[in-house]
Amino acid sequence: MKRLIPLAGAMGIALITGSNAHALDGEALYNTGTNPPCAACHRQGQGDTPETGNTDDWAERAEQGIDALVATAQDGIPDASPPMPPMGPQASEEELRAIIEYMLSQID
């Protein structure tokens, strides 16, 4: 079953997600689920890294949709500063989806 999850309040962003994604604790995975953990770079928005909770950093990315964001997390962004390592070998698609949904849920 698919459902819409409203995100970002006034931004009016909604993502369609599978029901299994919410069974995972995205916040816990964000903090410890990968090496380095997503929080290591996203908590403070190092370099090109979008800062968790920063609407300006996430607006365009969120418009791409959850599937595109998961694919980016799986593959990494080697040309970013600092480079984002591929998370696909470390976390399942469902885990990455939960992490990204958590980060998007933190947008003001």
As for how many domains the chain has, the answer is 1
**CB under 8 A, 24+ apart: contacts of 72-77:** 73/99, 73/100, 77/48
Of the chain, the percentage scoring pLDDT greater than 90 comes to 73
* Segments forming the whole domain that contains residue 63: 2-105
CA distances from 72 to 38, 69, 96, 108 (A): 13, 5, 10, 23
For 1-30, the pLDDT digits (tens) are: 334 444 444 334 444 444 444 479 999 999
pTM beyond 0.75: the answer is yes
45-86: pLDDT as tens digits: 989 999 999 999 999 999 999 999 999 999 999 999 999 999
CATH code: domain of residue 45: 1.10.760.10
Backbone angles phi and psi of 17, in degrees to 5? -135, 155
- 3-state SS, 37-66, equals CHHHHHCCCCCCCCCCCCHHHHHHHHHCCH
